[in-house]
Amino acid sequence: MIAVAGTGQAACDFDALVREHQSMVFSLAYHFLHDRAVAEEVAQEVFLSLHRNLGSIESAAHALFWLRQAAVRRAIDETRRRRRRPQVALEQVAEPAMTQPRGDPMLSDVLRRLIAALPEDPRAVMILRYQEDLDPPEIAELLAMPLATVKSHLHRSLGVLREKLARRGVGEP
Amino acid sequence: MDWLEQELKRALERKEPAPGFAGRVSAAARRRPMPRWIAVAASVVVLSGAAAGYRWYEGLRAKRQVMTAIRLAGEKLNRVQTRVMEVRQ
């Protein structure tokens, strides 16, 4: 057990956990929601939830797993609650207006928008894969999803992204 | 990892929240919410007090109405008695 809630040590540990994982939690929410202000709100709620559950956290690795899982779940909840952006299939997303070569900062922005427009499950899988660099089995465990489903989401999403970018002349040289 | 996956890793790099985020979170965590049982107990006390107050007010109002009715009946009775006395004389 890394801390007991309600003690001074717990407060210190909590502050350290926030400092250590703030960019991870914020980025998961930001890449999911594509809105900085909402992502900060979500990240804050995730950390406050961690504070309430600090007594059940057994190790640093457990804290990391817990935060990743809570951030994804909370981001999904927020997506459903707000419905700021109508959810559409990736195939229906408008083609990005860009002619820049790959490596251009605009390509990153377009990719982030395409990811943010994915349905919830494939979006979570792609963000955990490429932001957090998790392997499919780790993603499957975190999302409580069959490994085959994770692999399918990855494969299909990559295929559609590749096709959309290729239509605009952005692809493997 | 092919070029698209490299680009995705670049696009989805971790980003920092606004400056002061960690401090705001820590401060919010220190403002601990009231335990639920205290909130429930406070609600029960307030509602019980309000119910008792309402019952007392209703009792007082009923008492006033009874007193007014008695006073009006008394006045009427006095008037009748006066009239009876006048007739007798």
Predicted confidence (pLDDT) per residue in B9-20, tens digit = 999 999 999 999
What are the pLDDT digits (tens) for A19-67?
Answer: 999 999 999 999 999 999 999 999 999 999 999 998 899 899 999 999 9
Confirm if A13 and A41 have CB atoms less than 8 A apart: no
pLDDT band of residue A102 (cuts 50, 70, 90) is: very low
| Domain stops at, among A52, A82, A112 | A82
| Domain stops at, among A36, A58, A82 | A82
pLDDT given at position A117 = 85
For residue B11, give Cα distances in angstroms to A91, A112, A126, B5, B16. 20, 6, 11, 10, 14
Confirm if A66 and A50 have CB atoms less than 8 A apart: yes
Top pLDDT among A28 and A169 is at: A28
A134 lies in some domain: yes
> How many domains does chain A contain in total?
2
B48 lies in some domain: no
> How many domains does chain B contain in total?
1
| Option in A14, A108, A133 nearest B29 (CB) | A14
pLDDT given at position A169 = 75
What is the span of the domain harbouring residue B89?
A: 59-89
What is the span of the domain harbouring residue A56?
A: 8-82
∠A110-A114-A119 over CA atoms, to 5°?
A: 165
| A129 shares a domain with A73 | no
pLDDT given at position A167 = 80
DSSP A117: T
Q: Does B3 contact A172 at a Cβ distance shorter than 8 Å?
A: yes
- Cβ–Cβ contacts within 10 Å for residue A44, how many? 21
What are the pLDDT digits (tens) for B48-79?
Answer: 999 999 999 999 999 999 999 999 999 999 99
Q: Does A47 contact B11 at a Cβ distance shorter than 8 Å?
A: no
Q: Does A108 contact B15 at a Cβ distance shorter than 8 Å?
A: no
Q: How close does chain B come to A106, measured CA to CA in Å?
A: 9
* Average pLDDT, integer, range B29-50: 84
| A60 shares a domain with A19 | yes
For residues A44, A46, A52, A54, the Cα torsion angle rounded to the nearest 10 degrees is: -110
Q: Does A47 contact B8 at a Cβ distance shorter than 8 Å?
A: no
pLDDT given at position A107 = 86
pLDDT given at position A74 = 96
User: Of A54, A19, A26, whose CA–CA distance to A41 is shortest?
Assistant: A26
pLDDT given at position A96 = 45
pLDDT band of residue A6 (cuts 50, 70, 90) is: very low
Q: Is the pLDDT of residue A101 over 70?
A: no
For residue A127, give Cα distances in angstroms to A117, A136, B80. 12, 12, 95
Q: What is the pTM of this model?
A: 0.69
B88 lies in some domain: yes
Q: Is the pLDDT of residue A100 over 50?
A: no
pLDDT band of residue A97 (cuts 50, 70, 90) is: very low
User: Of A52, A63, A55, A65, whose CA–CA distance to A1 is shortest?
Assistant: A55
* Average pLDDT, integer, range A84-110: 57
* Average pLDDT, integer, range A2-17: 64
What are the pLDDT digits (tens) for A107-165?
Answer: 888 899 889 888 999 999 999 999 999 999 999 999 999 999 999 999 999 998 998 88
| Domain stops at, among A43, A64, A82 | A82
Q: How close does chain A come to B21, measured CA to CA in Å?
A: 8
